[in-house]
Structure 1
Amino acid sequence: MKPMTYKNYSARIEYSDEDQCFVGRVVGIRDIISFHGDSVDEIRQAFQEAVDFYLETCTQRGEPPNKPYSGNLMLRVSPEVHAAVAAAAEVSGKSINQWASETLSKAAQY
């Protein structure tokens, strides 16, 4: 399942039975941006408005907005795991980056 995205920001959306509406939060940044709506169209609109408001507020304050994850991931693993990953990548005819990206994507069900 792909997340809702807008201007490179992604949202996690859940249904709140207590509030009887959809509640969303922008993920992948330190700042907290939340929003809500009663339908898919409303939650999408609220998400876009929240991101636009966040970016506008950052501009007005002269502060850089938090950026979504860059796509660069540094990992520290044991030499044995590194060797096993390198071997698995080589056997599949891929670079370590290609192999790791595909493997992590499958694990995250992205």
Structure 2
Amino acid sequence: MINSLFCDGYTASIYYSPADEVFFGKLIGVNDLVTFEGTSVEALKQGMQEAVDDYIETCRLLGKSPEKSYKGVFNVRVSSDLHKKIALLASQYNVTLNDFVKSVLQYASSHQEIGAEVFGER
């Protein structure tokens, strides 16, 4: 299950604390730690809207970009067996390993239901 909320192009991961009886969230993909909370779903949504608005305004006043920048380069560690399998598959399709992985990631990102199949309920 994806526990997320969306607001004005921003995404937040959402959690529930049974001890405090409160929902809380954290904006993801931003340069700073931005959190919010609420005791109901509506209060949580309102808290996110306020957090997003405040964060955008603060970034504007500071002259900085709110969104985290991504270089497009990251390391992925896999087993040697998986490395061999995907390298062989890539060569069978006459593409580089990098292009093969990019294609698989692009496919997965446009078919989000795959996440439920692969990761199930967590």
Same fold (TM over 0.5): yes
Deviations for 1:50-81, whole angstroms, at most 9, x for unmatched residues? 0110010111122222x156593533668x62
TM-score (norm 1): 0.68
> 1:64-75 counterparts in 2 under 5 A?
64-65=65-66, 67-68=67-68, 70=70, 72-75=72-75
1:21 corresponds in structure 2 to 22
The answer (yes or no) to whether the contact 1:29–1:68 under 8 Å persists in 2 is yes
Distance in 1 (alpha carbons) for counterparts of 2:43 and 2:23: 9
Q: Secondary structure of 1:63's match?
A: coil
> RMSD of aligned C-alpha atoms?
3.3
Q: Structure 1 residue 6 and structure 2 residue 11: aligned?
A: no
Contact 2:31/2:68, CA 8 A, preserved across alignment: no
Q: Is the contact between residue 13 and residue 25 of structure 2 (CA under 8 Å) also seen in structure 1?
A: yes
What is the match of residue 47 of structure 1? 48
Stretch of structure 1 that moved more, 48-57 or 12-21 = 12-21
| Secondary structure of the corresponding residue to residue 27 of structure 2 | strand
TM score, norm. by length of structure 2: 0.63
Q: Distance in 1 between matches of 2:61 and 2:5?
A: 26
Paired residues in the alignment total: 105
What residue identity is the alignment partner of 1:98?
S
1:43 deviates by: 0.6
Q: Which has the higher contact order (CA 8 A, sep 6+)?
A: 1
Identity of aligned residues (%): 28
Question: Which sections of structure 1, spanning at least 5 residues, go unmatched?
Answer: none
